[in-house]
Structure 1
Amino acid sequence: MSERIRVLIIADSALRSEAIAAILSSDPSIWVIGTARNGEEGREKANILKPDVITIELKTPVMRGLKAIEKIMEESPISIIVISDMDVNVTVKALSIGAMDFVLLTREIEEISRDLIEKVKIAARVKPVRRIKVNSTVAAGPVPKKSVSKVVAIGVSTGGPQALQMILAKLPSDFNAGILIVQHMANGFIGGLAEWLRSGSFLDVRVAAEGDILKSATVFLAPDNYNTRITDNGIISLSKDTGGAKGHVPSVDIMMKSVADSFGHDAVGVIMTGMGRDGGEGIRAIKRTGGITIAQDEKTSVVFGMNKAAIETGHVDKVVPLEEIAYRIIEVV
């Protein structure tokens, strides 16, 4: 980027604003154009200053951080980085309503600084997507599950929580397949994500454990630090990375390849918004064994990276906007 990245800081104390500004200003490519003491002031300054990126604390007074994120993403979307020492569920909620990423304050200052600068630079390259409201569903009651005959394998990273919410909210309680998901995110947050997704879906959403059996209308999210595979009889197997694997753990490629090996033409691979190339080889494997492959389009992606790499393999059957993915899955299951 030839021009400096313009950042607005929203924090509840002058001391915290100064600390964040000092970190960001240490990089010559970043320019802090303003600060705000609460969500309402931040919202007003965002409309006037038009920053490239906003950093926001979730506990800001007057208009709380979550409400400010929601309003900004509805009115004039801007890439938002959450700065938080709050609980998992609150941070997951912030991601679900439009925040692009988050930085935790529970680490050493050098690591916080490095992470914040890197994520601001990434956010500045991303075209923010206007927040899409999703109506939550409440299951009418338990639905009998049967052994799985089809598997939907989903890989997603940046922008994933809200995208997953939209898909799972549209799938019916008698959905005739099991679902495996690899969502790249910081350690410690996958359980909160599963709980939040379950609250807005007819499906049973949980974090996978060794020996779990995938059944219809059941969703398993890969746990932190474990690669997730599935056998041909629907049993989940977890393995810790031994240091030889490249890229993310859990890996979308490893999960999807196991689905392709075990379910062949009964597999559906879905690759969505996110940075990097993880999932491209997995999509290729599913297609080569006769499965169906779907990719989220560029326009509705927070980051057109993983899905772009998969599309470039030439093994994606359908490229569709986020709001259509659930319907395409239902069609082929």
Structure 2
Amino acid sequence: MIRVLVVDDSAFMRRLLVKLLEPHEDIEVVATAMDGVFALDKIQQLESSKPDVVTLDLEMPRLDGMSTLRRIVDDFQLPVILVSAHTSEGATATFEGLAAGAVDFIKKPDRIHSSPMGALGADLVAKIRVAAKAKVRRSLARKTAEPTRDPRRASITGAAVPVRDIVGIAISTGGPNALSQLLAQIRGDFSPSLLIVQHMPEGFTAQFATRLAKLSAIDVHEAREGEVVSSSCAFVAPGGQHMQLVRESGKLRLRLTLDEPENGHRPSADVLFRSMAEVVGPKCVGVVMTGMGEDGAAGASAIHEAGGYTLAQDEASSVVFGMPKAAIERGVVDKVLPLSKISNYLNSLS
């Protein structure tokens, strides 16, 4: 049984989240709280029925959501799922919360009466089940300063690495922090193109890409339909759209589609990886990183069969080892590396 504490200053949202969780026999809401002060008190008072997962609204009175989050992560080592407003300010707070140690987030419904509650409930339940098993990472700001880009980062030594034109990354739970660390270590002379599928709702990926760009020595932006894939640039798949690599008039371009989700996701890394294998074959690298589920595993197999190279993040450095594990178990991963070493390999491709 997964015990959940729901924290939100809105009585309506507290009732809604409890209602969405009630039908699931493996989940029990052990308490609700209207602000951070009550939340911290509830965690201490529950003792034997201490929550396994906390859902947290960041916009609350008294003790604000960010301070509450840091206390929950640092003092109690509990996984936190943020409940985020679909606004520019809400997205900013969400990314700050993920950097402070939250495991994942869900998007608040835009309009309560017209938004599909079934989809919201399914997303919430899936993320609670994953969060209950996830590794809680303490605040990046407390462990070290936020990652800063280092264009002088040394590449790995040893045998020469074959030329690769395209690097694709599949990533989900734990991804925002992992990508922040990874891109901060990519050198300014990195020559391949980097195509990123981060499972994230529509409305968040543009700001996420902007945030990554501030940390990176290469250009990072949200992908646009039909744009030419240039070297030394990272493209983030927009939330709610698949991203594919195509060749048109002799140029590599990006195709964005609204095709059905794969593995429950749109964008899906399998869609991207298959297109990479078809278009550039041995000149591509597929990297499967932290995340729940199996997205990227079948695509990594396609890259492997096409003569490309595949990497997977190791279990110790993954918040959730689901996606890398699925690829490794297929026998199609050429190298397994900790997060701290993936940038070294990628820099060696330049």
Q: TM-score range by the shorter chain?
A: 0.7 to 0.9
Structure 1 293/276 Cα, relative in aligned 2: closer, same or farther at 3 Å? same
Secondary structure of the structure 2 residue equivalent to 1:62: coil
The yes-or-no answer on 1:170 pairing with 2:185 is yes
Equivalent residue for 2:229? Answer: 214
Alignment of 1:1-333 (within 5 A): 4-13=1-10, 16-43=13-40, 45-46=42-43, 49=46, 50-87=50-87, 88-99=91-102, 100-106=104-110, 107=112, 108=115, 110-111=117-118, 112-133=120-141, 135-137=146-148, 150-223=165-238, 224-231=240-247, 235-243=252-260, 247-333=264-350
Q: Summarize the Cα distance change of 1:221–1:13 in structure 2 as closer, same or farther, 3 Å threshold.
A: closer
> Helix, strand or coil for the counterpart of 1:235?
strand
Q: CA deviation at 1:244?
A: 9.1
TM-score by length of 2: 0.80
**Kept after mapping to 1: 8 A contact 2:130/2:320:** no
Name the stretch that deviates more: 73-82 or 164-173: 73-82
Q: CA deviation at 1:119?
A: 3.1
Runs of 4+ in 1 over 6 A off after TM superposition: none
Aligned residues: 323
Q: Does the Cα contact within 8 Å between 1:255 and 1:282 map onto a contact in 2? A: yes
**1:202 and 1:70 mapped to 2: Cα distance?**
29
CA contact (8 A) 1:180 1:221 kept: yes
CA change 1:246–1:61 in 2 (3 A) is closer
Structure 2 regions of 5+ residues with no counterpart?
152-162
Judge which range, 155-164 or 57-66, deviates more: 57-66
Aligned equivalents of 2:45, 2:181: Cα separation in 1: 31
Identity of aligned residues (%): 37
Report the Cα offset of residue 25 of structure 1: 4.2
The separation in 2 between residues aligned to 1:47 and 1:196, in whole angstroms, is 35
Q: In structure 1, give the amino acid aligned to 2:146.
A: N
CA 1:14/1:280 → structure 2, altered by over 3 Å: closer, same or farther? Answer: closer
Compared CA separation, residues 52 and 278, structure 1 to 2 (3 A): same
Aligned-partner residue type, residue 267 of structure 2: P
Paired AA for residue 104 in structure 1: K
The secondary structure found in structure 1 opposite 2:348 is helix
The alignment yields a C-alpha RMSD, in angstroms, of: 3.0
Q: Label 1:212 to 1:22 Cα distance change in 2 as closer, same or farther (>3 A).
A: closer
Preserved CA contact (<8 Å) 1:136 1:201:
no
8 Å Cα contact 1:209/1:236 also seen in 2: no
Tell me by how many angstroms 1:131 deviates.
4.4
Per the alignment, in what secondary structure is the counterpart of residue 9 of structure 1? strand
Tell me what 1:145 maps to: none
Which amino acid in structure 1 is aligned with residue 83 of structure 2?
A: I
Report if the CA contact (8 A) 1:92-1:189 is conserved.
no
In structure 1, the gaps of 5 or more residues are 141-147
Aligned counterparts of 2:231 and 2:252: Cα–Cα separation in 1: 13
**Preserved contact between residue 211 and residue 235 of structure 1 (Cα < 8 Å):** no
Which moved further from structure 2: 72-81 or 43-52?
Answer: 43-52
Is the 8 Å Cα contact of residues 242 and 259 (structure 2) preserved in structure 1?
no
TM-score (ref. length: structure 1): 0.83
Determine helix, strand or coil for the equivalent of 1:231. strand
In structure 2, relative to structure 1, the CA distance for the partners of 1:152 and 1:83 (3 Å cut) is same
Letter in 1 for 2:245: R
Name the CA distance, whole Å, in 2 between partners of 1:329 and 1:66.
34
Give 1:26 deviation, angstroms.
4.9
CA contact (8 A) 1:129 1:300 kept: no
For residue 218 of structure 1, report the CA deviation from its aligned partner: 0.7
What is the CA distance between 1:15 and its match in structure 2? Answer: 5.6
What SS class does the counterpart of residue 39 from structure 2 fall into?
Answer: helix
